[in-house]
Structures are given as C-alpha cells and as structure tokens.
Chains A and B, each alone.
Chain A
C-alpha cells in the first residue's frame, strides 16, 4: 500500500524528489469506506514538508454499504473549497484504477480536530463547546444550502449520482422520483417483511410538504460527520452521498441521527430560538418542525435503502462482514423512530 501511495502522490507533487509514507495505520469507525491515516514526507529542493493525510478506499463491492464514486467526492471537495467558506479537507488525488489499492481510493487532507461529538454532550469534557460548535455547524449547512448550485454542480453530475432516475430539474419531479424509488427499492432490501419501512415510504409519497429550491445537500449530515476544535467546526467530512435535493433532507437526517447517536446538536443552538430558527434566519426557508419530521422519514429512505440492501446481502451470505450484521441494531432503532414519526400508538412506558 505504501508503494501505491507514493506512486499516486507523485501525481499531486510532480516536482517532489522523494515522498516517504510514515505512520500508516487503519482508522477504526466509519461505516462505508476503509480509511487509513498516514503522514506523507515530501522532499522538494532540499526542503522536507510533512502532510497529514487520509487514504479513503472503497471496500470490496459486495461488502460496500453505499455505492458511491470517489471521483465525484474528490471533485465535490474541490468545488466546496473553491466556492464556499465551509471547512473541508483538501482532496489531493483520486485513484480509480483498482489495481493500485484493490479498489478505487482517494487521498485527502487529514484535518485537525476532534471527531468525537459524544464528548460535547451528556456532561462530556467538551460540553462547554457544544453550543458554539452546534451553532457553527448550523451556519455551515445553511451556507451550503444557500450556495448557487451552478457553482457546485455545473456539469450536473450530482443530479442523480446513484443512477436511480432522479430528476432535480424541478422540486416536484425530484420528490416524485425519490419517493417512487424508495417504494420500488423495498423489494430490493426487504430480507424479511418490514411493514414499518414499507408504510413509511408509502406515507412520504402520499404526503409531500411544500416545495423549496433544490440545492446541493451533504446527504449524510449527521453528528459523526464533522470535526471540531475550540468551539469551531474544523471540517465537515464524508461527502460521498451528496446530491441535488431538498435542503430539508440534511436537517431531517441530522435530527434523526441526533437521536440515534444520543447527541444533541439540534438542541444545543440557542441563538434565534434554536437550530431551526437560526437556520431559517440565514436561509429564509422558514422550515417548520413538521417539515423536519417529514424529512426525517424521507432521509431515512435516502440512507436506509442502500444500508438495508447491504444488510440483505449479508443475510443471503454474499459475504461475511460483521459490520453488515451489526447494522441490524441501528436498523431496528430506525424502525422505532419511523414508527414514532408515523404516530403509531405505542405502549405506555414502564
């Protein structure tokens, strides 16, 4: 792997006399890609500079959870850096030839900051930063949604990155295609009858909210996908599921995963009456709590469909990855969340 890294890094540093890879180590966590950290020591004209880096590699196809493109993620990181003030790591190089690392991969900047949002909450050691970090995060996602899509998606590659027939040229067509896709995909992921998921997808297809402008959305805006330090977000990470969509998708998914992760991003913003109020003041979108609830269901479809399909591949033994079996846990938590959002009668606690 070190030789492969040196080879691809020479593309980014063509004038380097030598590149040495040190401290290469796998990073635990992260559900969808295999990630490694390392330092690249780049020698150029008698000087040595150290670049902290991450290798982000696709897992084997059968074991992959989200089938996304490293090339698109690489392109998007560069566009976000160029056209917004949102902090993201630089993407140095992408290697789509699986001969180098076994699967497609990209090398990105290793940004400083803590990736442990749980330390911000529940009396954790960084609790004093929670409000400032959550407020900054709210402002950054608002900035993403306010950025002209023509700058981030000039070539239309984020219109339908999964190739499932999305048409974001109009809000109505996007929502129709997206909800039809979720309903259609049920048969592809249901390894067992899953009535709550079926009910949820039919429900969101029947009960769509008012339209908003289509924007580029992060697509997996959740409490594990940012780094922070000294009360500021230092990077928003994992852009692999970005696509043109309804900006409320990111709010819904954050609200949903905030509950799943036992964090409190959305409850920690105080200015303008809270996360939603602050977001609305910046964007003018006037998103209501009811719309956030709708998009909790909607985003559960966006992420849930490929995740549950991955679980099904494990059930039918296409591979034997433990992670995919473990997905049963969040899937069942999600089912309960969906049941609550659909206002199912629930037994009294006790």
Chain B
C-alpha cells in the first residue's frame, strides 16, 4: 500500500478542486448550497477516517467494561429489568477485548520504514546480481513473491474502473 497520499489527502484534493474549479461555474444558488453541504460532508469524512477504527476498537473495550460495572452496581436488585442487565453483562461484558489499533500516523510510519528497507535491498541485490551472484537472483524472487500480491491489493484498494478520464 502507499502511505501517501492518505485518504485525507485525496479528500482534501477534491475539496480544493470543488471550490476552485467547480464553484465559480455554478449558476444556481441551489447548486452552490449543495456544494457547501458536500464540502461539510467531505470534511466530516476527512476527520473521521484517521480515527474511526481506533476509536471503535477502544470504545468496544470500554463498553464491555461498562456492562460488567453496571451489573456490579445493580448488584442483587430484583426484577426482570435487573435480570436482563446482569445477563447482558454476562454476554456482552465477557467478550474479549479487541487489540488496540495504532494511530494512522504510527502505522504508516512503521509500514514506510519496512518499505524503504525493500528499496535499499533492491539496490544491494542489483549490485550482487550484476556480479553474477545467483543467490541474489533467488532473493529477488522472494521479494517479488511479496510484491506481487501487494501490488494486486493496492490495485483493488485504489483503482476505480478502467481507462483514464479525459482520454476517450
């Protein structure tokens, strides 16, 4: 995967273009208002993307703790409502915690460090292959075993349709 541009960068690029390239061409007030609403929604997505998964994982674990705590506070209270709260604590409060997801910037930094290591290794392998080292050829093959599926995943994650807009 590319660490750049981030999803936020892509959305920001669209937002800038909407204001600079599209807004001046809009004739009706209705269209102008719609564009401003689009800007707000895009900004919302831009803010949510880097934190949404991390927050959901953390809050999942907080909720499970809260279920257990609430059942403890209710204690031995009688009645069907109290029974249901204790049952929820057993069912939902006993779920295993989800692993914490690193912050997007931390994850991207770690990924980028290893990817840069591949670049440096390609340079080293190139020298060795040119010197006739057949083991280096094999090592390059091993790297390509990683890069093939990675490139296919990248394509699936980023590319929209076929062809290039404006190149009909």
B-binding residues in A (CB < 8 A): 28-31, 115-119, 190-196, 198-199, 202, 205-206, 223-224, 260-262, 314-315, 320, 322, 325-326, 328-330, 332-333, 335-336, 339, 342-347
- Asked, given contacts A195-B115, A325-B5, A332-B155, whether A345 binds B145 with beta carbons under 8 Å apart, the answer is yes
In Å, the complex CA distance between A325 and B14 comes to: 9
Interface residues of B in 115-135 (CB under 8 A from A): 115-116, 118-119, 122-123, 126, 129-130
Q: Is the CB of A193 within 8 A of B119?
A: yes
When C-beta atoms are compared, the residue in chain A nearest to B164 turns out to be: A330
Residues B148 and A339 in contact, CB atoms below 8 Å apart: yes
Contact B5 A328 (CB under 8 A): yes
A-contacting residues of B (Cβ < 8 Å)? 2-5, 9-10, 13-14, 16-17, 20-21, 112, 115-116, 118-119, 122-123, 126, 129-130, 140, 143-145, 147-149, 151-152, 154-155, 158-160, 162-168
Centre residue among A117, A118, A198 by max chain B CB count within 10 A: A198
**Cβ-defined contact, A335 with B154, below 8 A:** yes
Other 14 A-B pairs with CB < 8 A, given A192-B3, A320-B16, A335-B154? A29-B167, A193-B115, A198-B122, A314-B13, A325-B9, A328-B5, A328-B158, A329-B164, A332-B159, A333-B155, A335-B151, A342-B144, A345-B148, A346-B148
Given A193-B116, A322-B16, A326-B165, CB of A315 within 8 Å of CB of B4: yes
- Report the bound CA distance from A29 to B165 in whole Å: 8
Can you list 18 pairs linking A and B with CB atoms under 8 Å apart? A30-B166, A117-B168, A118-B168, A192-B4, A193-B112, A195-B115, A199-B140, A202-B122, A262-B162, A322-B16, A325-B5, A325-B13, A333-B159, A335-B151, A335-B155, A336-B154, A339-B152, A344-B144
